[in-house]
């Protein structure tokens, strides 16, 4: 992780806003206030279905692919040794940061009151940053060695192959159930129950090993969109083509949903096509208003997140974990106390939980604003 004095000036302002909106929404979704039910559309679908919250992570992967398309030209000019060294180094750093984030705060108080090191056997291995690292690694290799046409063919193979894996290796007649699908079975076999996510109804990792395969396609989609935008994106023709392809992908996803339901937790192929289609449409709209019409309302606010996305996301997670570890009284931690003793009393119900998340997001934004003011851009 290193600080540089200038961001990549070659990127579109609309890309920074798209990525900033993604981080902004990601923080809000991840930190709902306590004491009341959070809005359903800001909560992930239980299994099948789709909510606004489900769009966040695939949109970040899409934005990452989009940004990669701007840097791949220089990467292709380097030797294979330099390329592999850079890609492996960045992938390992991001993966380790994700792992350390789940291991944080590294120590816990035992039954006898003594402090002890949190055991490795109980630390989640996969996760959001880990998936980002793996997707970055594979996508970089794809576009270093293959053409965009070959990447599209490979994406089709990944989506159809993953569909086949779900039905070939899931429990018969229960291939898509949480406890018996191929993703769960593979993660339990390879990682063991101690190393996977345990905050669902049963031990199940929504960022598991197998489900990382289709998520690569979200990055590939973002990369190809970025390449297209660089060629003719700042034109009405380019915007129209982005909207048309986005609509076709969403329509195809809805058709596929009839036989392979849209599911963020399983990261089904229909989910991939649906989210890529939505992201293409959002990107087209942003390019139209920001790049063509020069409408910059809200741009300055959101691009603060877009200039240090991974760092701000990591800070938000660690800050949230820290607040949940600080006891205020016998029943509440610091986050719960602020949410229930302050915001729930002013704004009772779901709106109070939403306000808590917004305020938390603004605290994270203030860090991003300070970094941007000091022209510090932290590349992970």
Per-residue confidence band for 362, with pLDDT thresholds at 50, 70 and 90: very high
Specify the pLDDT at position 9: 39
Per-residue confidence band for 7, with pLDDT thresholds at 50, 70 and 90: very low
By the 10 Å C-beta count (0-12 exposed, 13-18 middle, 19+ buried), 109 is classed as exposed
Residue 294 pLDDT more than 90?
no
Domain extents in the chain? 13-27+38-374
Q: Count of alpha carbons within 13 Å of 362, Cβ hemisphere only?
A: 6
Per-residue model confidence as pLDDT tens digits over 47-57: 999 999 999 99
Per-residue model confidence as pLDDT tens digits over 130-182: 999 999 999 999 999 999 999 999 999 999 999 999 999 989 988 899 889 99
For helices 299-306 and 13-30, give the axis angle rounded to 10 degrees.
80
State how far the alpha carbon of 287 is from the alpha carbons of 15, 18, 249, 367, 377, in Å: 8, 10, 19, 27, 24
Residue labelled with tokens 């190393």? 195
Q: Where are the alpha helices (DSSP H) in the chain?
A: 13-30, 52-76, 80-103, 128-145, 148-169, 182-190, 212-228, 236-256, 269-286, 299-306, 309-325, 334-337, 344-346, 350-373
CA angle 141/145/150 to nearest 5° reads 100
Token couple for 137: 């690694």
Specify the pLDDT at position 14: 85
Residue 129 pLDDT more than 80?
yes
Task: Name the more confident of 72 and 111.
Answer: 72
């Amino acid at each position: 992780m290193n600080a540089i004095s200038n961001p990549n000036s070659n990127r579109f302002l609309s890309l920074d806003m798209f990525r900033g909106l993604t981080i902004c929404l990601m923080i809000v979704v991840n930190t709902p206030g306590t004491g009341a039910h959070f809005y359903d559309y800001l909560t992930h679908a239980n299994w099948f279905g789709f909510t606004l919250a489900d769009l966040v992570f695939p949109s970040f992967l899409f934005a990452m692919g989009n940004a990669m398309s701007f840097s791949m030209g220089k990467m292709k000019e380097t030797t294979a040794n330099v390329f592999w060294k850079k890609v492996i180094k960045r992938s390992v750093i991001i993966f380790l940061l994700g792992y350390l984030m789940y291991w944080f705060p590294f120590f816990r108080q035992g039954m006898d009151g003594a402090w002890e090191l949190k055991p490795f056997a109980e630390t989640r291995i996969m996760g959001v940053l880990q998936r980002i690292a793996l997707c970055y690694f594979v996508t970089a290799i794809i576009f270093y060695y293959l053409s965009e046409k070959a990447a599209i063919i490979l994406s089709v193979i990944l989506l159809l192959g993953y569909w086949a894996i779900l039905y070939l290796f899931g429990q018969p007649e229960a291939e898509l159930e949480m406890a018996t699908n191929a993703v769960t079975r593979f993660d339990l076999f390879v990682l063991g129950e101690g190393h996977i996510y345990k905050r669902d109804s049963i031990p199940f990792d929504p960022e598991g090993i197998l489900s990382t395969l289709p998520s690569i396609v979200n990055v590939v989609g973002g990369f190809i969109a970025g390449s297209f935008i660089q060629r003719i994106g700042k034109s009405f023709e380019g915007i129209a083509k982005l909207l048309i392809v986005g609509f076709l992908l969403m329509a195809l996803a809805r058709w596929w949903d009839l036989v392979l339901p849209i599911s963020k937790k399983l990261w089904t192929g229909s989910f991939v096509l649906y989210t890529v289609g939505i992201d293409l449409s959002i990107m087209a709209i942003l390019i139209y208003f920001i790049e063509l019409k020069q409408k910059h309302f809200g741009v300055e606010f959101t691009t603060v997140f877009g200039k240090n996305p991974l760092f701000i996301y990591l800070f938000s997670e660690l800050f949230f974990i820290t607040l949940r570890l600080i006891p205020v009284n016998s029943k509440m931690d610091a986050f719960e106390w602020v949410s229930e003793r302050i915001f729930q009393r002013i704004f009772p119900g779901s709106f109070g939980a939403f306000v808590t998340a917004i305020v938390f997001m603004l605290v994270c934004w203030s860090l991003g604003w300070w970094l941007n003011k000091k022209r510090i851009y932290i590349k992970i």
